[in-house]
Structure 1
């Protein structure tokens, strides 16, 4: 019995072994014109396997890239697209730089700190107030995500002032909209309290 585990490893398994055999045969063809026709026929079969991608930009280009990979870059024919070089394709990418800047409150994230810095630079007015409310709203979401026992809007405003270095002044009439998660938490808390009250009442009635 010839099992797949004993066969040659497929470079792109999504196309299957039959397509790989067609590619292997195409590489062995000596006549350049015949090999080119064979390659185009293989591209047609590969495209038929993914009809939902036909309208995607550069789909044909990707198919030719995949054909080059499956042939181990041994086709040696003119192609309608520039194919990647084998050395470049398999070389390791450069290491991504990682930011080492420290954040005072990691649960808020770097974006919130940048938004607060931007708010500090703005002139007083409706636009600045709107941005501050947007920042407070996102900070409240972060606190609710990590701590369902929400400490209150005062905590959010206090953190905003601290992160701004005291540069932001929170208007006294500013209120943060209540989130669905907070509403559900309060609702569950009230239900639990009412349930306990009913249990205690039943206990007292039995006495």
Structure 2
């Protein structure tokens, strides 16, 4: 399990690591149209963190500014507002108040549930299917951050089924990325070294047992 003290500092901590993880994931999407659609869903999830932000006349502009800040000004999408420059961001965003709600699966957070609800409302098509698969992959990534040892693909897919109330369908040939691949993306160096050390110890112990036999 990774602890907050081992992770990099958040540029906009008010949104938490779940949103930051989604922003980081958006940066890896190669197709611009899909990346833009995913960014809009992330912004919607950000707004749900604090419904009172909608009282501001320019709240949508602020949300997009925060999104660009969290992407370290690297997110290239067709946004309704221009990306702010570092010089324009003169002060930190005001702290947001959080709306309490029941989280069905703690490893994923309420924001993922809200994103799934948004995708359910989308019209059927290739774009929706792409987002469905992205969210499923993200569930496994999020779970690995929470607990590496007990992550199982069938369990992740079952969670996806429950979170979407059976309304989002994955193709029969869909497969989640391997744990090894995802750990290489999400584990910090200390965690990776610790994981590798454990693997090396297991191999050494097995080798010694064979020699004794």
TM-score (norm. length: structure 1): 0.46
Larger RCO (alpha carbons 8 Å, 6+ apart): 2
Bigger Rg over Cα: 1
TM-score (norm. length: structure 2): 0.45
